[in-house]
Chains A and B, each alone.
Chain A
Amino acid sequence: MFNATRLRIARLFHGITQRELAGRIAVSNGQMATFEGGHKEPKGDVLDALCSVLLVKPEYFCGEADEFREEEVNFRRRISAPEKLKRQVLARGSLFGMAVEQLSRLGKFPAYNFPKHTVETMEDIEVAAEKCRLHWNLTLDAPIGDMARVVENAGVVILAIDLQTAERVDAFSRFGDTSVVVLNLQKRSASRTLWDLTHETAHGVLHQHARGVPLEQREAEADRFAGAFLLPRDAFASDFTACRAMDWEGLLDLKRHWRASVQAILVRARQLELIDAAEYRTRFRTLSGWGWRTSEPDEPTLDVPSLFNKALERAHTDYGTTTADVARTLGWRVELFTSVTGVQPAPPRIDPNVISLTERRLVADKNKAPTS
């Protein structure tokens, strides 16, 4: 049974319009609309052409589609991000979700373990962040050494990849049947990526069932949660007041310890009223002058997600399923798998005792060739 949603997802992932796809496979725009509308099924040459352009196999179009829809996704993007780009990034999420779903049949991912909190005030958010730390066995007085592990141990798969969206999309997350966080690594510092990941975590904790909350409010709440989670108020305030007179060197020392950017530290210090509005402004102006808004010194090491790769390894260990096999089962060409997940399949192992017939023939032909 042809699933038109799967066609749309693949098309959007490649960033092409219906009209462009119609042109590339030599069908009319109307025909393409009927395919995507689910009114007609492409067959024969048309299906082959679709597969060729979209880097899939015919079996890809069969089966259910768990499409990531905008209303169920926390989508962190700049105002300048065009709709087309947004849809393309969502389609990547949908495809990545399919891959995770497939791998979950070959290995058992950590159980979903995100606590839910309803918040109304900033104090509620502070408390929610502290409760989350305790829920995940993280103390309230130490920095988090690996945020990716925190999220993945709680059953959410992270995809950290260069989205090639020129920084117009920071990250997005979806918490539900298949829970994923997608982080854009393009031109981003480790401290900023860590912040994005914690921001997305906040959506999972605070907004999973808060559909009616306006976007701006959700984003502000998630930012506050990220600050409260990475820099717990009591421990951070104590540390900050102990060294604030050390000026920039002290702030960098706090950064090295807490693994949050100097900007995040200043924002947090302002939230907790450890600095006044004038100092906050002066500090930001100074760091802007140094170019720290885009590139800060003393960056922490990047928390590298590992769950997806471990699932691939598990599939290989237990069932001998290679990355290429997973792609095949999904009905994807290997190029599509690499493009969606960033995972390059290992080259096939060649038994040294096996001699290539082609090579042998070439050598034989060369030997037979007449010499002048």
Chain B
Amino acid sequence: MAWAGGLRQNFPVNDEMAILIAESAVLTALLSAILPLFFLNRPHLQSLVAFFLLGGSGLAAAWGGGMALLLQTTGQVVLPIGLPWLHVSLCLDPLAGFFLFIVGFITFTVACYGSGYIREYIGGQLSIGTLTLFTGLFACGMFLVLLAADAFSFMLAWELMSLASYFLVVFQHHQPENRHAAFIYLLMAVVGGAFLFLAYGVLAGFSDGFSFAAMKAADLSPTWATIAFTFAFLGFGLKAGIVPLHVWLPLAHPVAPSHISAMMSGVMLKVAVYGFIRFVYDLLGNIIWQWGVVVLLVGSASAVLGVLYALMQHDLKRLLAYHSVENIGIIYIGLGLSMIFHATHHLEIAALALIAALYHCLNHAIFKSLLFLGAGAILQQSRQHDMETMGGLIKKMPVTATCFLIGCISISGLPPFNGFVSEWLIFQAALQGPILKSGILGAMIPVAAAMLALTGALAAACFVKVYGIVFLGRPRSAEISEAQDPSFGMRLSQMILAVCCLGFGIFPTWVVRAINGIPESLMGTGLSSVTDNGWLWLTPVSPQTASYGAPAVFFGILVSWLIVFVFLHPLRRDNRIRLGPAWDCGFGPLNSRMQYTATAFAMPLRRIFSFIWLIVEKVEPAGPGEAPRYLLKIDDRVWLMFYVPIGKIMLKLAERASRIQGGNLRVYLSYSFFTLLFLLWVIV
């Protein structure tokens, strides 16, 4: 990579520097967790110290990760802690560096936001020290997962991450539904961890050690590789949130404090994706095409179902949580395409699909965090989380509204922002499908692309609804009329993320060039032609096949806007704008109840796709002296189809097993007696 070489000449570093910076990030995060515990009675100081250190650790992580990615270094360190025969080894290569950059950057913006946000918890019943402790541990755990280079430290860091996030989710534990949501989250995190143990166990059984280097060198038969893949897919999928393993996401994200939701949705899900990529591409190596098909199908299903579930929500944070399911589905579509092309030896197209998936990881982290931070600002100002009570916020919170608009446009995948570029790259990879010799695969891939197109269109529909109901129109409740723009830190973090959305959309060639190092280190080839035509045009396959000139598009929009504006606003005398009431058909003044509600907006789509959800709709006609009542309940079918039966089976098995506990003393003594007989027989 000549480009990286050139950078290295200008910034002489050795391989160790990046990982040293990353380690300092971990230590700073740990410090941000522990240090505030010494200031128990001064919550303002606690939050200040904690978030300052957290921001610092985020910056350090982003710096170290960016350095490893851009300069293509691989640093390794073995720490003298851990089990005597199994020291903790850390490694920072370009893949880990990329994800470390994402995690660090988002942590930094959340830290800017956090101190303003948790002001509302100060003076309440909940302890700030707990919040900052577990936030720091959460960040520390995520950094360590990315740095881990052996299975033991990986699992330690993974469990630390899960546990810390559980305590964060259950932070507001006074409401029973919050505790229930957190319990489901913990349960599924633990089950996921168990699957990961099994996956690493299979790999460790065939290699001579627990370190990733040993596992990479292991030679597995296709059957065992498939078994390991299945366990890893389920384990990482549970954490990433693919359908049908996603049920904890819409429960846990709305319940956690908003900056934690941003971290969980923006970053923790990406850590799961990192784990999956590391396991499949690095540790397993020989990818079988059937795995790619499974990943592609599951990704398509998650994308479409995620956005359809999101459409019907009117709790703002739950809606955003379902959109995370959708975007993880899109990332998995990219990964599935990459795996299929890798298995059929089209390595360049596999690199393209992998780059597209990684780019979408970056983009989703940025715009999802932006959206959650905006939702948190609204929640803090108005204590409302139901969209049906909001409206007209663009006039009260202009900065939040502008940044939220940029987030909405980005997540809908519209040019010139960043969401469009990663979806465009995935489409380009999917359109190379016909190059496969198998006609069935060549047919399935464009159908997956059609699912992606459906997802994009439905996501745009959903975010028109969200932005229109929340920010435009008239306020639908009194509390919303009192809202204002939040504090400086909260505004600053949103603005930084919004600028990044635009930046990563206008300069895709630089981002793709940077990410190009990852497929080179994982597969041996990267995209060779991506920036052949200069920094202006993104040409992933070849200039005749497809090209996208992002800066030119942005420039074109600005120029045509300017021309139209100037042309229609000559300096005339009579150019006034009159204000008047909105058109009311002559019936008199309009009030806010006459607007469309979120439920009304989504009704045509609900009728068209009614077979997806479990809908209960009841209209009770008006009794004497009462108003009619309308009930609409929309539920996830997956819960009923999968989890309720599993729960019932588990309970039945548990009941059967509990019969061992007879309660009778002689029965217990006979257990010991027969065990003793058995052992004597076996040993002799």
B and A form one assembly = no
Instruction: Give chain A's interface residues, CB within 8 Å of chain B.
Output: none
Instruction: Give chain B's interface residues, CB within 8 Å of chain A.
Output: none
